Chain A
Amino acid sequence: MASNISGNAYALTILSPIKDGFTQDEIAYSDIVRDRLQGWNTEQNSPMTLTPQTYLCRFFVLDDVYTESLPGASALDTIVDWLPFVPDWARRCALPAEDHLKSRYLVFSSNFYCGPSGSVDDYLRGMWNAIGDRVQDIWGYCYGFEAVNDADSFIAYMKKCQLTATLFFVGANDDPLEEQLKALYLKQEFAKFAVDNQGLSAAELKQNFQAFFERVQPANLSAPTWAAGKYRLD
């Protein structure tokens, strides 16, 4: 299986290091990034709903890696433990080092429809074109992002920050997002149709169904349809 791809779905994982600095208000850059991301919660919907083909995505700021304890020692260490002449400071030095990140990271992961091409370029280009200003708002404090000023440089930057995903689960089927949103819309509308037309005669039912069919336009993916990012009936 090709890396990052499962069928027509792509799993994009980005880790962008955030600069170790602070603003004039003495707030760390990484905290600003987190604050801006949290601000998205108070918007009507996530800006990412505007990015075409996004199945599901997630942002967070990674402060550090966490361990529950130091890694276990090897058999050799156990033998050393039995030797009475090894001083304590030597034992402590022999313990494996505790790992930490060198900086804090902006993590962005996204599952999207990539189609048969299996390329990430079109998706990132779509993201830049749709919400380029919001992207700059979030990534602006990351190392090297100052070189980004258009879709091409954004794609190049993101590829540098990309981690390979070898195994992932796609929570959506293989269709383009428009297909899935239309299918969801049709399912909801058909359920309503079934409730509203229960018990009618065959002739009435046929007539109403034709009207329903014309209204919902099953072949037309662009409209009427379920809006991306919409999560409840209205």
Chain B
Amino acid sequence: MTKQLDLLDIQGNVIRAYGRFGFPVARYVFLNITDDGIGRDFVGEITKKVTTSVEWGKKDDGEIARPKWTVNIAFTYQGMKELGIPRSSLVGFSPEFVSGMKERKDILGDDGVSSPEHWDPIWQGNRETRDKDVHIFVALNAQYGKDTDLLEESYQWLLGVVNQHKKGVVILGGHKGDDGTLMDYQDAKIVLDEHGMPTAKEHFGYTDGISDPVFEGVPYDADRINGRGKQMEDGSWAPLATGEFLLGHIDEAKEYPPAPAPILLSRNGTYMVYRKLHENVATFESYLDEHGKKYAGGKELLAAKFVGRWRDNGAPLTEAPDAASKAAFDAKYAAADDKGKDDLLSNFTYDDDMSGAKCPFSSHIRRINPRASLEMVSDPDKAGALKVSKNAFDTPGALSNRRRLLRRGLPYGQVKDRTKDDGNHGIIIMMVNADINRQFEFVQQQWINYGNDFRAGSDKEIILGNHSANEKFPSKAVLQVDPDSDEAPYILSKIPRFVETRGGDYFFIPSMTALRMIARGVIDPT
């Protein structure tokens, strides 16, 4: 890595998944601007506290110390407009950012129980009337305090700032919490195990967020490139181009991503997709039980097939496709140091699994990040088999490098009864990318809710797919087997909807420079 990003200019939530950096609890607050001048003052006040991406060190050494809690801020298109960004700058934002998530529901497959009329009240009201529009997003992440509730401390600070600007900004309530209570904020926190110990799991029991992309210029990701960057022709890994995730930098097409003028408004900024996803744990458990009894490999292997990783430690199926290889993997994993563990979990390819016998084509990790596996052709020597098509593209990852997403976010709520779907539990997922349409929306439409690129017809991704409740057109997915074996593929029939959308929108995360300029009202593209 030779490129060094200006980390003091980039907001911290772009580069860091806070959960992994010791900030396991979060609160997301959304505001409406009622007066543009006071709104800009509010942004200025918040900006003073905004956490950047800088490397933390010791204050005594002249470095910036790790904060007890973090603050980050982002805006919807309406928010940018309310803050008085000139029209000639506004026209430079992407059309999907202007439209917002609700209007993009057909592309995103937010239908049936996931359609906007079922979203949390705050998201139902958003983009309907001016006073209910979500303009500003403030994210607070906190460490666990020994004696004090640091998250509450950060929230009280925010309430103080809001209070000082109450004639110009209003907190929008309407987030569904426990027992349907409406909250003024969205709480999120990592899932605790039965002993109250923190885990890296979401409510279905999977380890989340292992293979987050690594891109050029982030010093503390330099030893995490293998399996997370882009695959090169010689099999090595390189960090992805910065411009896939930050505006104002060269992307994988060797171009600057489209961005609004002036460059000071967009450079080191990016787009964020905020989505509240409810998890139907009872439906998941009963479907897994039902098919776990029939599936020859047993329930835990079947659970692993849904996602492509084993639930207990996240072991990838490509490396541990059955019980025997899993035992061998576990032994190696137990003996490895942290770096070795990380490598075991993320440094793999699909080169030896082109027919999907180990990691199914419709499993979560293969759909979300296919690595080089889309470079496949039918094997002329073996019926029903696929193989790597060498030299079909410039690099093995040519079809996936421009569809990557930084995943930020945390689970929310707690499962109190695994036999019920309607509790308060799910994931707040925040995806960061330079082009919402090319990256997030493409993955959602083509790879999650459709299977053609994976030669899986209209089969959807098993966990996140907007599976059909319609008896006439039930969702299915196929768990492939080795074409050389006598085994029959296992067909997951009548897949119910495990995950439902409960709201969200598209946001712009400006750089620190842009935030200061927005606050002063000096954005001027001329």
Contacts and interface: CB of A to CB of B under 8 A. Distances in A.
Contacts of A194: 491
B472 A195 contact: no
B130 interface: no
Contacts of A233: 472-473
Nearest to B473: A233
B473 A195 contact: no
B455 interface: no
Interface residues of B, number: 8
B48 interface: no
B294 A199 contact: yes
A230 to B, nearest CB: 14
Contacts of A198: 294, 488, 490-491, 493
A99 interface: no
B170 to A, nearest CB: 47
A195 B476 contact: yes
Contacts of A234: 472
B12 to A, nearest CB: 48
Contacts of A195: 476, 491, 493
Contacts of B476: 195
B474 to A, nearest CB: 9
Interface in B446-493: 472-473, 476, 488, 490-491, 493
Nearest to B476: A195
Interface string B6-17: 000000000000
A194 B477 CA distance: 12
Interface string A17-28: 000000000000
Interface string A162-198: 0000000000000000000000000000000011001
Nearest to B457: A191
A194 B473 CA distance: 16
Contacts of A199: 294
Interface in B479-518: 488, 490-491, 493
Nearest to B296: A199
B491 to A, nearest CB: 5
Interface in B225-257: none
A233 B458 CA distance: 12
A194 B476 CA distance: 12
Interface in A66-88: none
B199 to A, nearest CB: 34
Contacts of B490: 198
B455 to A, nearest CB: 14
A195 B476 CA distance: 9
A234 B471 CA distance: 11
Contacts of B294: 198-199
A194 B489 CA distance: 10
A199 B293 CA distance: 11
A27 B327 CA distance: 78
Nearest to B493: A195
Contacts of B473: 233
B490 to A, nearest CB: 7
Interface string B66-85: 00000000000000000000
A194 B491 CA distance: 8
Nearest to B474: A195
Interface in B8-56: none
Interface string B294-307: 10000000000000
B459 to A, nearest CB: 11
Contacts of B491: 194-195, 198
B361 to A, nearest CB: 16
A204 to B, nearest CB: 14
Nearest to B294: A199
A202 to B, nearest CB: 11
B293 to A, nearest CB: 10
Contacts of B472: 233-234
A233 B473 CA distance: 8
A201 to B, nearest CB: 13
A115 to B, nearest CB: 28
A192 B472 CA distance: 12
Contacts of B488: 198
A225 B491 CA distance: 24
A196 to B, nearest CB: 8
Contacts of B493: 195, 198
Interface in B94-115: none
Interface string A43-79: 0000000000000000000000000000000000000
Nearest to A234: B472
A195 B478 CA distance: 10
A199 B473 CA distance: 22
Nearest to B489: A194
Interface in A197-224: 198-199
A198 B488 CA distance: 9
A14 B490 CA distance: 49
A195 B473 CA distance: 13
B481 to A, nearest CB: 13
A233 B474 CA distance: 11
Chain A to chain B: the 4 pairs with minimum beta-carbon distance, closest first: A195-B493, A195-B491, A199-B294, A198-B491
13 contacts: A194-B491, A195-B476, A195-B491, A195-B493, A198-B294, A198-B488, A198-B490, A198-B491, A198-B493, A199-B294, A233-B472, A233-B473, A234-B472
Given A198-B491, A233-B472, 11 more contacts: A194-B491, A195-B476, A195-B491, A195-B493, A198-B294, A198-B488, A198-B490, A198-B493, A199-B294, A233-B473, A234-B472
